[in-house]
Amino acid sequence: MIESETQLWAVDALGALAHETRLGVFRMLVEAGPEGLVAGAIAERAAVPPSTMSHHLGALERAGLVRSVRESRLIRYRTDYDGMRRLLAFLMQDCCQGSPQMCADLIGVVPCHGEISNPQPEPAE
């Protein structure tokens, strides 16, 4: 994919996440893991009417951040981990500026067991 197409895709993906409900749903699906959740459970947990949730899930799916699969009468949504990695890679591609140590500790602020630590920036002298 050429750079301008990648940037347009990233803008769409970030736009999909730039809504409180969609960001919460995306994080909910990441937490749910590979099994994902059915649409009704997502709507219930987010306290959003099913028709509104359908709109939000569609936006996340079009952005390449979630995938859906029909299971009889239910639709199960899962995080598209390739899409998530692609977005993270896009955001991080210029981070190191040739110095990998600048970004080496980033994974440390995202523990795999839940809460994100928010390191405070060092005070300017």
- Residues 41 and 33: their CA atoms lie apart, in Å, by 14
- The structure tokens listed for 27 are 């994080």
Architecture of the domain whose range is 3-83: Orthogonal Bundle (1.10)
Euclidean distance between the first and the last CA atom of the chain, given in angstroms as a whole number: 43
Q: How many residues appear in the chain?
A: 125
pLDDT tens figures, 57-107: 999 999 999 999 999 999 999 999 999 999 988 888 877 776 777 777 776
- The structure tokens listed for 106 are 């980033």
For residue 49, what are the contacts with CB-CB under 8 A and spacing of at least 6? 43
Entry pTM:
0.79
pLDDT of 124 higher than 70: no
Burial class (CB in 10 A: 0-12, 13-18, 19+), 29: buried
Q: What is the pLDDT of residue 110?
A: 63
pLDDT tens figures, 46-71: 999 999 999 999 999 999 999 999 99
Q: How confident is the model at residue 112 (pLDDT cuts 50, 70, 90)?
A: low
Q: How many CB atoms lie within 10 A of CB 13?
A: 22
